[in-house]
Amino acid sequence: MTHFADRIATLGTENAFSVGADIAKVAGRGIDVVKLNIGEPDFDSAPHINEAAIAEIRRGNSHYCDPQGIIGLREAICSHLLGTRDLHVMPDRVVVTTGGKPGISFAVQSYVNPGDEVIYPSPGYPIYESWITYAGATPVPLHLREESGFTFTADDLAALITPRTRLIFLCSPSNPTGGVLSKDELESIARVIRERAPRDVRVYSDEIYEQCIFDGATHHSIAVEEGMEDRTIIASGHSKGYAMTGWRLGYCVLPTAAEAAVFKQLTINTVSCVPPFVQEAGRVALTSPESAPGIAKMVAAFQERRDWIVPTLNAMPGLRCQNPKGAFYVFPNVSGLCEQLGIIDAYEALPAGRRARTAPSAMLQMYLLYSYGVATMDRNSFGKIGADGQHFLRLSIATSLERLKEGVERIRQASRDPKAFARFIDEEKLYS
């Protein structure tokens, strides 16, 4: 790596994408892989949204446009914030981005100096930890509590805030746990931030799963809590709720227009602008009355799958699964499974160098993929720091019930087969 800058080694990744190489290897052997790894709806974007983009391209709307985002979409985002959160925001505080991801790097680049501390949920979306380490900042993981549905208390957060804290990532509904912070929890979290955090600390509230909430509950944003609107960046987008992952459309709502100007400048320095026809379609997604029924149908399908998979996993020896309240993932504790398959022993027996590069749940993930053709995500794919000894898998339920049943059946068979695990270690040579 000598020709690369030192900092490139500090950049993490999103393994849900990088595990694709292993999946391709397994599929290349003629195995039909059940893909429960990737976080995208198994629904297509709706016809009225697709038609809007096609019409825009046909009429020649295919040029550069406002780097901050076209005004029509920014106004639609403001109306959405008013309708869903009762927030009155002017379009000069909104920046449209190429998906939900860029806001994470923009926030770290805008607010964090090397050596500053950044608090983020763990397990959490891996891109937070990736950008924090890349910026030379100190990552401060906020460990979520499995026993309370992967939430945390205001006291948990208070214990991590110091005078060096600059940025706090929150994510509700959460990837990978499906945990949702209640209005009461957000109130007490906001109180702690007001009382304990330096005044200029920013909260990055990742609300990209805002539409994916189960049991008829509603989404709550920390931005509406007392004194929080002018400390919070609301980040959301079209990838999940409108099933538009490949369109690359997201947005950030900044506390001030001056901060939005910085995010705009970062856009100018990277992608120049988000394609205008994508933005017009995104405006239609937010404003058309045709959108809501499609979202409701999709979320009902996710909920039906959750209601099937959680009791099914809990009935399997060695698994313990919380009931997610939102997003489209389940995140079972697989400690028992790792024990019963001999994975903990196999991990302990690895040479130190090898051990440092894997974990029991990662070995389970690879065994399930290579020996049984089921792709999942391991615990360390959602923040490595301080995760030793935690054994979880993430399964995406954004897959048809039929495929989900096939995947879970394969996991059941794999869980009863310690000999197959021993064979996997011998034959695949992934750890030698």
Among 122, 245, 333, 335, binds ligand PMP (CB under 6 A): 245
We find the least distance from the C-beta atom of residue 12 to ligand PMP, in angstroms, to be 14
Q: Quick check: 244 and 267 in contact, CB under 8 A?
A: no
Q: Name the CA radius of gyration of the chain, rounded.
A: 22
**Among residues 250 and 282, whose Cβ is nearest to ligand PMP?**
250
**CA torsion, points 41, 47, 48, 50, in degrees to nearest 10?**
80
404 binds ligand PMP (CB under 6 A): no
User: For ligand PMP, which is the closer residue by CB, 322 or 381?
Assistant: 381
Cα dihedral 270, 383, 369, 316 sign: negative
Query: How far is the first Cα of the chain from the last one, in angstroms, to the nearest whole number?
Result: 22
Binder to ligand PMP among 69, 100, 126, 373 (CB under 6 A)? 100
Rule CB under 6 A: is residue 73 a binding residue for ligand PMP?
Answer: no
Residue 375 phi, psi dihedral angles, 5° rounding: -95, 125
Q: Single out the residue of 67, 139, 237, 383 in contact with ligand PMP (rule: CB under 6 A).
A: 237
Question: x/- string (CB under 6 A) for ligand PMP, residues 39-58?
Answer: x-------------------
Q: Strand, helix or coil at 100?
A: coil
Which span sits near ligand PMP by CB under 6 A: 47-55, 99-107, 334-342, 418-426? 99-107
Task: Name which of 254 and 319 has its Cβ closer to ligand PMP.
Answer: 254
Which of 45/239 has CB closer to ligand PMP? 239
Report the nearest approach of ligand PMP to the CB of residue 4 (Å): 25
Question: What residues numbered 166-205 form the site for ligand PMP, per CB under 6 A?
Answer: 171, 175
Identify which of residues 207 and 225 has a Cβ nearer to ligand PMP in the complex: 207
In the bound state with ligand PMP, the residue whose beta carbon lies nearer, of 246 and 317, is: 246
**239 is a contact residue toward ligand PMP (CB under 6 A):** yes
Tokens representing residue 373 in the block? 């053709």
> In angstroms, what is the minimal distance from the CB of 100 to ligand PMP?
3
Nearer to ligand PMP by Cβ, of 173 and 407: the residue is 173
Side-by-side strand order, sheet with 165-171: 94-97, 250-253, 232-237, 202-206, 165-171, 117-122, 138-143
Listed as own residue / partner, the contacts of 287-295 with beta carbons closer than 8 Å and 24 or more positions apart are 287/76, 287/79, 288/48, 288/49, 290/46, 290/48, 291/46, 291/48, 291/49, 291/242, 294/43, 294/46, 295/211, 295/241, 295/242
Q: Which stretches of 271-290 are DSSP H helices?
A: 276-287
Minimum distance of ligand PMP from residue 353's CB (angstroms): 31
Tokens 């379609």 belong to residue: 281
CB of 242 to ligand PMP, least distance (A): 10
Adjacent-strand bridge partners of 119? 140, 168
Residues that contact ligand PMP, how many (by CB under 6 A): 13
Q: How far is the CB of 110 from ligand PMP (least distance, A)?
A: 17
The residues pairing with 121 across neighbouring beta strands, listed in sequence order, are: 142
The least CB distance from residue 134 to ligand PMP, in Å, is 16
Q: Which of 41, 69, 91, 99 touches ligand PMP by CB under 6 A? A: 99
Rounded distance between C-alpha atoms, residue 278 and residue 246, angstroms:
10
Q: Which is nearer to ligand PMP, 91 or 241 (CB)?
A: 241
CA distance 252 to 108: 13
Binding site for ligand PMP (CB under 6 A): 39, 99-101, 125, 171, 175, 206, 208, 237, 239, 245, 250
